[in-house]
Structure 1
């Protein structure tokens, strides 16, 4: 049962990549990097929310506890992917990767992570 939710996480990677591409080819040309990051956070939360809602409607969650476990699993997969891919494939430094967690500097990546973790519970409750 959990395996299907692991597989359901994979499209989230592509949603994130597509969101980043859209940022770079559209509004990212007109906004400074921080502002583009912040807008991209909002669009990412929206796109991921729509996808997670689709997963919730298709497969549902058995309980709020299961939804939270799945959300936390998606959170772990996302953070793991970000650091492994970001450092070893994209060549970003550890300090650059960690800088995206500095909410006091206007970096909002943590909001995306929080959303990935709690959205399944929220949609479980909304869909009843």
Structure 2
């Protein structure tokens, strides 16, 4: 049905609240990076207006740090759109600080706790190969 795919990868050793926080931020990043993927606003039977959501499924995978780093390398080589979340972002208090700690990290060995990918189905599948869906 869709030519593209969205995958959210979350590190498996995080506390539940951290996993949920990372998934929420990654999902907003996908929506911002691919606004054309958003569906139309929702409206209920009483004509109350609601916000838009992504018009395609997002699959959530679990991985350890090496699994996340591997997916990141694969995504780079396939030129997929990516939204990263690194461990240091848990200790910041605002968006500008998030970008600062991200930029200060080792680009070759990001301390990823989450990564969102979007692109052609086959390319995303290759980037997440070997990862399991989050349980």
TM-score by length of 2: 0.29
Structure with bigger RCO (C-alpha 8 Å, 6+ apart): 2
Report which of the two has the higher share of helix.
1
